[in-house]
Amino acid sequence: MSTTRFVNKLVGQRVLLVGGTGGVGISVAQALVESGAVVILSSSREQKVKDVCTALANDYPQAKDRISGYACDLASANVEANIRDLFGKVGEIDHIVYMAGDRLPMIPLEEVTLEKWQKCNQVRTISSILVAKIGSRYLKKDRHSSIVFTGGSISEKPIAGGWSMLALIGAGVNGLARQLAFDLAPIRVNAVAPGVIETDLWQGMGEEGKKAFFQGHESRIPTGKVGQPEDLAEAYLYCLKDTNATGIVVHSNSGTFLM
């Protein structure tokens, strides 16, 4: 008789991925489906949610009944009402993974304005705390439930030029995770802090600019390769599975801190 103490930890657990239709979100969703979880995706565009759910169901036909999704616009002035509506549709869940964020706000300090700050801050931080506020009501009050935020290694390892807003956001998200680990206990709250991950969030650099940035970064980091979405997905799954982990920041950054 075989014993499976580890590989089935997420079987049947309901996981909501907020902002889960990007490259990393899709990889996390794939990992969750393969782990036997029930996956609910959410992002701002309804068609995108439908397309990703369809693609996942095609890749995992045996799991299509465990895959669903709903649109939720986090950039709207009605964001709190939108989040309430989302959780009203989703119902009780075991985990929330928050990875929503628009294109990376690479803005030189002299070009920072209140409008630009408010725009990038709403989705990455304001909406995250509102999701925690509302979503925690739908989580079981024990250590098997969790919320995972997405910060960034830039909060601890600066990058030259144009990253001041993202550094501030990342530091705030890391701090929020630690504080909510107290405020929402025994529900666990953690953060994943990615380094440079190859996703479409870098498209603002242009193809040549992105290629040059990646090559320069890879010439310095110990792994010699920027992270891939499937690499980072493991960090999120760890936060969900380790019921002894709360108030921590899990880094996945190709050894960036050793540079």
| pTM higher than 0.75 | yes
Token pair for residue 16?
């909501």
Residue written as token pair 């590989």: 7
pLDDT, mean of residues 4-13: 91
Task: Read off the pLDDT band of 2 (50, 70, 90).
Answer: low
DSSP letter assigned to residue 139: B
Query: Quick one: pLDDT at residue 214?
Result: 87
Task: Read off the pLDDT band of 182 (50, 70, 90).
Answer: very high
Query: Quick one: pLDDT at residue 68?
Result: 98
Task: Read off the pLDDT band of 155 (50, 70, 90).
Answer: confident
On the question of pLDDT at 238 being above 70, the answer is yes
| Strand, helix or coil for residue 46 | helix
Q: What is the pLDDT of residues 135-149, one digit of tens each?
A: 999 999 999 999 999
Task: Read off the pLDDT band of 198 (50, 70, 90).
Answer: confident
Query: Quick one: pLDDT at residue 194?
Result: 92
Task: Read off the pLDDT band of 248 (50, 70, 90).
Answer: very high
pLDDT, mean of residues 163-181: 92
Helices assigned H by DSSP within 145-203:
164-183
Q: What is the pLDDT of residues 75-106, one digit of tens each?
A: 999 999 999 999 999 999 999 999 998 776 77
pLDDT, mean of residues 2-19: 90
Taking all residues of the chain, what is their mean pLDDT, rounded to a whole number?
92
- The Cα–Cα gap between 48 and 51 comes to 5
- The Cα–Cα gap between 127 and 154 comes to 20
Fold of 14-252: Rossmann fold (3.40.50)
DSSP letter assigned to residue 197: B
Candidates 139, 100, 128, 141; CA nearest to 17 is 100
Helices assigned H by DSSP within the chain:
23-34, 46-59, 79-90, 114-121, 127-135, 164-183, 207-218, 229-241
pLDDT, mean of residues 223-251: 96
Q: Which of 155-159, 203-207, 234-238 has the lowest mean pLDDT?
A: 203-207
